[in-house]
Amino acid sequence: MSYLFNTPEDLQQMLEAIGVGSIDDLFACIPPSLRLDRPLQLPPAMGELELSRHMSALAASNRCAEDTICFLGGGSYDHFIPAVVDALASRGEFYTSYTPYQPEVSQGNLQAMFEYQTMVCQLTGMDVSNASLYDGGSAAVEAVLMCLSATRRDGNVVVPASVHPEYRQILETYLINLGTQLVTVPTDDGVVDPDALAAVVNDRTACVLIQHPNFFGCLEQVEAVGRIAHDAGALLVQAFDPISLGLLKRPGDLGADIAIAEGQSLGNPMIFGGPYLGIMACRDQFVRRLPGRIAGQTTDRRGRRCWVLTLQTREQHIRRDKATSNICTNQGLIAVRAAIYLSVLGPQGLRQTAEQCLQKARYAMQQIAASQRFEAAFAAPTFKEFVVRDTEDRVTQLLRDSCQHGILAGVPLGRWYPQWQDAFLVTVTEKRTRSEIDALAKVLADGGRAV
Amino acid sequence: MRNQTSMRLIFELSRSGRGSTVLPPLDVPEQHVQDLLPPDSLADAPPPLPEVAEPDVVRHFTNLSTLNMAVDTHYYPLGSCTMKYNPKRNERLSSLPGFLHLHPYQDEETLQGLLQVLFELQQTLGEIAGLPAVTLQPAAGAHGELTALMIAAAYFRDLGQQRTKVLAPDSAHGTNPASARMAGFQTVTVKSTRAGFVDVDDLRAKLDDSVAVFMITNPNTLGLFDQQMSQIADWVHERGGLIYLDGANMNAILGIARPGDFGADMMHYNPHKTFSGPHGGGGPGAGPVCVRRHLGDYLPAPVVSRHGDRFTLEKLPPKSIGRVRSFFGNVGVLLRAYCYLCTHGPDGLRRVSENAVLNANYLLSRVKHFLPVPQGDRCMHEFVASASKLKKETGVTAMDLAKRLLDYGFHAPTVYFPLTVPEAVMVEPTETESKETLDAFAETLFRITGETAELLHEAPHSTLISRPDEVQAARKPVMRWTSE
Ligand SMILES: Cc1ncc(COP(=O)(O)O)c(C=O)c1O
C-alpha cells in the first residue's frame, strides 16, 4: 500500500518497543464477539492507473456543462472561473492544512479568512461575516435559528414561496423539532405581495426570510417586506445572489438584519451540488449569536498585527449544548476560493459580470418569447434567470429533447410547484454567447427537435 | 527571505482604477440597465471590493499559503482530526471535467457515471459500518450527527413516544451536545470512569423512557475501545432508545469491527478524516450517515438507488425527514473518499487501521515515560497524555508544549480536549507516517519537557509571529478591515 511506511523491520522493532507479539495483540481490547470475523465485502484494491481509467470512464459517461450548453440554475451556476482561483487554491499549504487552532502556524489561512469576511461585508453592506457555513441552505436555516434566539420568539417563521424550495424543505426539517411553524406565503405572480405577507406576520413571528432576486429570478420588494417584519418586532433575513450585487442594492442597504447566500458562484465549480459555500453576514448587534468560526485581528507579544479565531465562546467546543450552532468543520477552502475570485474581479469585474448576466438573460427571454409557444411566466423584473411557460404544456419532453441536442435548457418547476408543471426556469450567465442563446431559442421553438 | 508585503492585507494593496478585465465584450444588443430593472433597485456603485492586478492576487495568496503548516509540509499529529496524507490522485480524479461541471438539476440520464460512484459509495460505507441504509447528504461530521438525531426524533414521533433527552459522555466532542440541542433534545451528560470508559452506573441511573439516543464515540476520544459497548447497547435498547456512534475515530477499526455489529443503530463518518479528504484549512468535509434498515425510511432525500443497470435519485420517501442541505451533498469530498476506498480495497483498509493503531501504540510507548498517559499503556489510533504533573512541578502547560513543538517544525497535537483529562495532549500519529518521524517527534517532545519554563511560556520563538493576544481579540473584536 503506497501510503504506508512500515517495513517488516520497522514492524518488529515497534512491536518490541510496545511489548506485544503481533499487531493482532493491539486489538485485544476489542472482544472477539464484537469483531468482524470475515473480510469486508468490497471490490479488490485498484492501483493508480486502474483507478484513473475507472474514474475517467465514469466521468466520461456523464454529460456535463463542458460538452453541452448549460442554461440550468436555481442556486448552482455555470459562471466563469478564472485560472488564478484553481492555481492558488490547489496549493497544498491551503488545502492540506486544518482549522487554524494554532495561529502562529496558520496566519495564511487566518488572514485569508479575515479578508474573506471583509469582502463579504463589502459585498453585502453588513457589519460582520463569519468564516463560512456549509451551503446556502444551511445558512438560511442558521439565520432563522439566530432570529428565534435573538427575538425570543418561536411562534412562526414567514417565508414566501419564491424562496428556494430546497431552503424551505430544510427549514421544515429543522423547525418541526423545535415546535416552530413555517408559514409559506403564496407567490402566484412570481413575487410576494407585501400585503399578503403582512397578513401572516404577527407578534409571534421571529423573522421573515426573503430571497432577492428570488428563486424565479424576480426582484422582490425587500424594503417593504423589511418594514412589515420590523413593525411586528420580527427580523428580516435576505438570501441574495452574490453576482447580482454588482448591480443591485446590497442587503445591508435594503434593511436586512442577516444576509445569507449560496456562494458557489464565487469561483466554484458546480460539481453536482458541493462543496459549496454558505455565506452569512449580520448587523453588529447579532454578532454574539453568529454561528461558526470567525477570524479576528489582534497583536502578538511583540505588538505585530496578526489574526486568530475569535469569539470562540459561541462555539460548540467551548459552550457545548449552549453553543450558537453545532458547526465545526466548515467550508474553509471554498471561502478562500471566493476571496480569490472577488479579488480577481474587483468592483468593476463584478459589475461587468452582473451586467452581462442581466443583458444576456434579457436577450434570451426575448428570443424565447418570440415563439408563439412560450411566454414569460411573470411580469416582475428579473436578473439572470426567468421562468418560461410552455403553452403546449409538454415541459418534460421538451427539456429531454433539447438535451438530446446538447442543450440543457432549463429546470422544470413542476417538481416543487405542482401548479406550474408547464413552466421551467432558464438561467443565463456571462459565459453564454449570443450564438448559444440563439441555439437555445431555436431548439425550444422547434419543440426540442433540431438545432 | 520573507516577502515583506506578504503580511499586508489585500485591501492595502488596492489602488483605485486598477484591476483586470475578465470578460469579452457583450455580444448581445445592449439595453439600458435602467430600462431593465427598476431604478430604485440599483446600487449607485458596485461594492467597494479591492482593486488589484492579477499578479498582485497571485503573489499575495501564494505568500499567504506559505504561512501555514499543512500535511503536505509538516507532521501534523492532531488528535481526533486524522491528519493523514491526502493522495494527489484523489485531487486529480475528483476534478475530472465530467464530474466538475455537472449541474445538480441535470436529468438522471446524463449523470449515470456519477450516480454509479455515489451508489457504490453508499454500499461501501454501509458495509464498513455494518449499517446498510446510507445518506451522503450531510456536509460534515456535526451535520451528520444532527441528521441522525433528527431521524431519531422522527422515528419516535412515528411511534408516538415522547422522548426528550439525548445522553452523551463527558468525554464527547462538543458537537454531540450541540447537535442534540439543535434537534430539539435536552442533553444529559454521562460521567466517565477514571479508566476513561462510560460510567455504567451513572448511565443506568440516567437511562429512562425519556431517553431517545445515547451518543457514544467508540473508540472513544481517549483512544480507547469501550468493551462495555454491547452491554450498553442492550440497556439502551431495552429502554427503547437508540445508539448513535460518533464515527470520528473509524480510522482505528476499518475492517476490524463494525459499529452495526457492536450495537450502534446510527453513525456518521468524517471522510475528510478517515478517508483522506483534505481538511482545506477547516473544510469542506462531509458527514455520511449510516443507519439500520428500519431507520432507512427516515433518511433525508435524495438517496441513490439502482434499478437493473440504471441509477436513480429517490426524491422523497414517505417517512423521510426531508432535506438537511441543498442539492446532493459535498460531492467533491465524496468523490475523493470513493477514490480512497477503491485504492485500498478490503485488505488495504484493514492495514490502514492496523498501522494507525501500531503507530499510535509505538508513539505511546515512547511518550508515556516522560509525559504520563493517565488512561493506560495501550491505545487504539490515538492517545491522550497529560501535562498535569509537569504543570504542578514547573508551571509548564499543555499549551506551552504545543507552542514549543511548532518551533521544532511539528504541528501541535490537540490540546485541552477531551475535557475529562486535565492538561490534555491528544496525539494521533496516523498510518501515513514513518517510524523515523515518530521517533523524531518523541525525542523532540522529550527534549522540550526538559527545557526551562521561561523559554516555554514564551514559545514559539521561531515562527512568523509569537503568541497572539486572544483576550484582546475577543474583548474588542475586529472582524473586518476598514479603510479608516
Ligand atoms: C470526536 C469528534 N466528533 C465530531 C466531530 C465533528 O466533525 P466535523 O468537524 O466534521 O463536523 C469531530 C471533529 O471535529 C470529532 O473529532
Question: What are B50-63's pLDDT values in tens digits?
Answer: 999 999 999 999 99
Q: Please give the distance, rounded to the nearest whole angstrom, from the Cα atom of residue A309 to the centre of ligand 1.
A: 18
Measure the CA–CA gap between A151 and A25, rounded to whole angstroms.
Answer: 57
In a domain, A53, yes or no: no
**A410 and A336 part of one domain:** no
Of A170, A247, A333, which has the smallest distance from its Cβ to B43's Cβ? A247
Residue range(s) in chain B whose domain bears CATH number 3.90.1150.10: 346-470
Residue at which a domain ends, from A322, A341, A360: A341
What pLDDT shows up at residue A313?
84
The CB density around residue A102, as the number of other CB atoms within 10 Å, is 21
Domain B346-470 has CATH 3.90.1150.10: yes
In this structure, what CATH number is given to the domain that contains residue A331? 3.40.640.10
Contact B271, B121 (CB under 8 A): no
What pLDDT shows up at residue B473?
93
CB-neighbour burial class of residue B452 (10 A; exposed 0-12, middle 13-18, buried 19+): exposed
**A244 and A369 part of one domain:** no
Instruction: State yes or no: pLDDT of A450 exceeds 70.
Output: no
Q: How far is A305 from chain B (nearest CA, A)?
A: 9
**A285 and A402 part of one domain:** no
Residue at which a domain ends, from A282, A316, A341: A341
Contact B251, B381 (CB under 8 A): yes
Question: What are A208-248's pLDDT values in tens digits?
Answer: 999 999 999 999 999 999 999 999 999 999 999 999 999 99
Which residues contact residue A38 at a Cβ distance below 8 angstroms, ignoring those fewer than 6 apart? none
Going by C-alpha positions, the residue among B228, B222, B232 that lies closest to residue B173 is B222
What are the CA-CA distances from residue A337 to residues A81, A132, B66, B284 (Å)?
10, 12, 16, 12
Q: Read off the pTM.
A: 0.98
Mean pLDDT for the stretch of residues B63-70: 97
In a domain, A296, yes or no: yes
**A77 and A90 part of one domain:** no
Specify the DSSP class assigned to residue B75: B
Mean pLDDT for the stretch of residues A149-172: 97
Contact A376, A117 (CB under 8 A): no
What are the CA-CA distances from residue B102 to residues A77, B78, B99, B243 (Å)?
10, 35, 6, 37
ipTM above 0.90, yes or no: yes
Mean pLDDT for the stretch of residues A111-125: 98
In this structure, what CATH number is given to the domain that contains residue A383? 3.90.1150.10
Is the CB of B141 within 6 Å of ligand 1? yes
Residues recorded for chain A = 451
Residue range(s) in chain B whose domain bears CATH number 3.40.640.10: 90-343
Q: CB contact, 8 Å: A432 with chain B?
A: no
Mean pLDDT for the stretch of residues A260-270: 98
**A319 and A366 part of one domain:** no
Nearest CA in chain A to B34: A247
In a domain, A200, yes or no: yes
Kindly list the residues from chain B whose CB atom is less than 8 angstroms away from the CB atom of residue A285.
none
Instruction: State yes or no: pLDDT of A14 exceeds 90.
Output: yes
What pLDDT shows up at residue A451?
47
- Reported as half-sphere exposure (CB side, CA atoms, 13 A), residue B396 has a value of 25
Domain B90-343 has CATH 3.10.20.90: no
Q: CB contact, 8 Å: A82 with chain B?
A: yes
**A319 and A419 part of one domain:** no
**A264 and A282 part of one domain:** yes
**A111 and A214 part of one domain:** yes
Kindly list the residues from chain A whose CB atom is less than 8 angstroms away from the CB atom of residue B61.
88, 112, 336, 340, 343
Kindly list the residues from chain A whose CB atom is less than 8 angstroms away from the CB atom of residue B341.
42
Q: Please give the distance, rounded to the nearest whole angstrom, from the Cα atom of residue A223 to the centre of ligand 1.
A: 40
CB-neighbour burial class of residue B77 (10 A; exposed 0-12, middle 13-18, buried 19+): buried
The cell numbers describing B283, all together, are 473544510
What pLDDT shows up at residue A314?
86
Our count of domains for chain A comes to 2
Query: Could you report how far apart the first and last alpha carbons of chain A are, in Å?
Result: 51
**A258 and A389 part of one domain:** no
> Which residue is listed with cell 463518518?
B269
Mean pLDDT for the stretch of residues B17-24: 84
- DSSP E strands, A365-427: 374-376, 385-390, 407-408, 411-412, 423-427
In a domain, A47, yes or no: no
Residue at which a domain ends, from A341, A366, A394: A341
Q: Given ligand 1 and candidates A138, A329, A333, which is best to mutate, with the most ligand atoms within 8 Å of its CB?
A: A329
**A399 and A325 part of one domain:** no
Q: Residue A74: which domain range? A: 66-81+346-445
Measure the CA–CA gap between A424 and A114, rounded to whole angstroms.
Answer: 39
What pLDDT shows up at residue A320?
87
Q: CB contact, 8 Å: A298 with chain B?
A: yes
**A362 and A331 part of one domain:** no
Kind and range of the H or E element at A35? none
Average pLDDT, chain A: 96
Of A33, A315, A408, which has the smallest distance from its Cβ to B103's Cβ? A408
Question: Which amino acid makes up residue A6?
Answer: N
What pLDDT shows up at residue B5?
65
Decide: helix, strand or coil at residue A10.
helix
Is the CB of B414 within 6 Å of ligand 1? no
Measure the CA–CA gap between B396 and B361, rounded to whole angstroms.
Answer: 25
In a domain, A304, yes or no: yes
Question: What does DSSP say about strands A385-390 and B165-169: parallel, antiparallel, or unpaired?
Answer: unpaired
In a domain, A252, yes or no: yes
Measure the CA–CA gap between B257 and B260, rounded to whole angstroms.
Answer: 9
Going by C-alpha positions, the residue among B282, B280, B316 that lies closest to residue B301 is B316
Instruction: State yes or no: pLDDT of B21 exceeds 80.
Output: no
Is the CB of B248 within 6 Å of ligand 1? yes
Measure the CA–CA gap between A378 and A369, rounded to whole angstroms.
Answer: 12
Contact B271, B341 (CB under 8 A): no
Average pLDDT, chain B: 96
Specify the DSSP class assigned to residue A104: G
Sequential DSSP letters for B245-299 = EEETTGGGTTTTB-TTTTT-SEEEE-TTTTT----TTT------EEE-GGGGGGP
Question: What are B221-249's pLDDT values in tens digits?
Answer: 999 999 999 999 999 999 999 999 999 99
**A216 and A272 part of one domain:** yes
CB-neighbour burial class of residue A426 (10 A; exposed 0-12, middle 13-18, buried 19+): buried
Give the bridge partners for A303, in sequence order.
none
In a domain, A33, yes or no: no
> Which residue is listed with cell 469569539?
A311
Contact B402, B444 (CB under 8 A): no
Measure the CA–CA gap between A242 and A250, rounded to whole angstroms.
Answer: 10
In a domain, A237, yes or no: yes
| Residue B412 phi, psi dihedral angles, 5° rounding | -75, 150
Of A247, A321, A411, which has the smallest distance from its Cβ to B177's Cβ? A321
Instruction: State yes or no: pLDDT of A1 exceeds 60.
Output: no
